[in-house]
Amino acid sequence: MTYDSIVNRGDYFSAHYLAEVLPKDLKKKDGLLARWAEAEKDGQPTPRTGLRGLKRSYFKDRPAFADALETVREGKDIPKIEEWKKSLHELHGDILRALGFTAEPRVLTVERSDKQYEVAVAHAEPADRPSVIAIECGWAPDVDAALDITDAGRLLTPVELDHPHMLRTGDKLASWLFAADEPPRYVLILAGGVVILADRMTWGEGRYLAVSLDIALGRSTAASSEIETIAALFSADSLLPPEEGGAEPLAELLSGSRAVGERGAATLKQWHILRKARCSPSRLTTVVQAILTLEYRSR
């Protein structure tokens, strides 16, 4: 199942995997959802319950943020901009905490080519050598608006580089961080009602994952499967390496996605070979069904 709140730009996940296989992988007995179910039985918070609990406070402040966005689009300055920034910082902190991060804003020292630069971040974890960094942009209700460099895509705190150069947009800062001497694996671009997940392995190819919380939380009755899918893809439990070592859960899901994509490509190639061989339609159908059966059994 797919959701219009989740944007899979450039097939960050294969479309088939995201729609058909991911829901099954998440429900495995050793998966995130099973772990969260056990934690919730003991009364512990999880990213799933965190996102569900975010709705009330998000929509309480939404009208003010939406008005400010329209003001910017009209070419005017946001009134009481410091208050607006403070409210947006608080919203981003709430989102990070809902997703299971501790949300500790700080100035991060980043080294590039033997030079040090200071970058204001909403969160960086682990503290000593971050694999996940969260940065802050303006407020947006959808992904396209969140990447609009004329308004919501601009950083709340621009980054000073070598004079007179500066980084002013979230997408540029993500690319810059990925080129650091010790780059993170993931950068979360927080833009009010939107979270963009930039992965160092795919960001340069224009492939990434994003979610409009504005859409997901705005449904009269948010589907539990939609909320838990978002939590499973964007939470600390998914993006941070486990304490016992090994790859982070999202990387494991991506491996599954690639495997599904490779099997699908192989099957398609076999189909074209049979067509070129001018196999009869009935024989072609029989052979393809046999191939698909073998592919299924090999999983």
Residue 132: strand, helix, or coil:
strand
Do residues 116 and 140 share a domain?
yes
pLDDT band at 223 (very low <50, low <70, confident <90, very high): low
Asked whether residue 95 falls in the same domain as residue 200, the answer is yes
pLDDT of residue 244 exceeding 60: yes
Total number of domains in the chain:
2
pLDDT of res. 257: 80
The answer to whether 97 and 103 are in contact (CB under 8 A) is yes
**Can you give the length of the chain in residues?**
299
| Whether residue 279 sits in one domain with residue 144 | no
Q: What's the whole-number mean pLDDT along residues 224-250? A: 92
Nearest by Cα to 8 from 238, 196, 136, 194: 196
Q: Does a structural domain hold residue 248?
A: no
Q: Kindly state whether residue 182 falls inside one of the protein's structural domains.
A: yes
191 with 270, same domain: the answer is no
Q: Is residue 127 part of a domain?
A: yes
Helix, strand or coil for residue 266?
A: helix
Asked if residue 228 and residue 185 are part of one domain, the reply reads yes
CA distances from 40 to 4, 103, 229, 286 (A): 27, 21, 16, 48
Please check whether residues 206 and 267 belong to one and the same domain.
Answer: no
One domain, residues 13 and 96 = yes
Query: Does 1 fall in a domain?
Result: no
- Whether 245 maps to a domain, the answer reads no
Q: Looking at the domain assignment, is residue 246 inside a domain?
A: no
Residue 251 placed within a domain: no
Query: In 3-state terms, what secondary structure has residue 105?
Result: coil
Mean per-residue pLDDT, 211-215: 97
Q: Are residues 283 and 235 in the same domain?
A: no
Same domain, 228 and 287: no
Q: Alpha helix (H) ranges present in the chain?
A: 15-16, 22-26, 32-41, 47-52, 55-73, 81-98, 143-146, 170-178, 213-218, 224-234, 236-239, 249-276, 281-298
Q: Are residues 24 and 159 in the same domain?
A: yes
Q: Which of 40, 34, 1, 58 is nearest to 195 (CA)?
A: 58
d(CA 216, CA 227): 7
| Mean pLDDT confidence for 111-119 | 95
How many helices (H) and strands (E) the chain has is answered by: 13, 10
- Identify the domain containing residue 211 by its residue range: 6-240
Same domain, 268 and 214: no
Q: How confident is the model at residue 254 (pLDDT cuts 50, 70, 90)?
A: very high
Q: Confidence band (pLDDT; 50, 70, 90) for 36?
A: very high
Top pLDDT among 127 and 214 is at: 214
Across 127-137, b (16+ Cβ under 10 Å) vs e yields: eeebbbbbbbb
- Which pLDDT score is estimated for 163? 85
> What amino acid occupies position 159?
V
* Encoded amino acid at 110, one letter: V
Same domain, yes or no: 38 and 112: yes
117 φ, ψ (degrees, to nearest 5): -135, 150
Q: CB neighbours of 291 closer than 8 A, spacing ≥ 6?
A: 267, 270
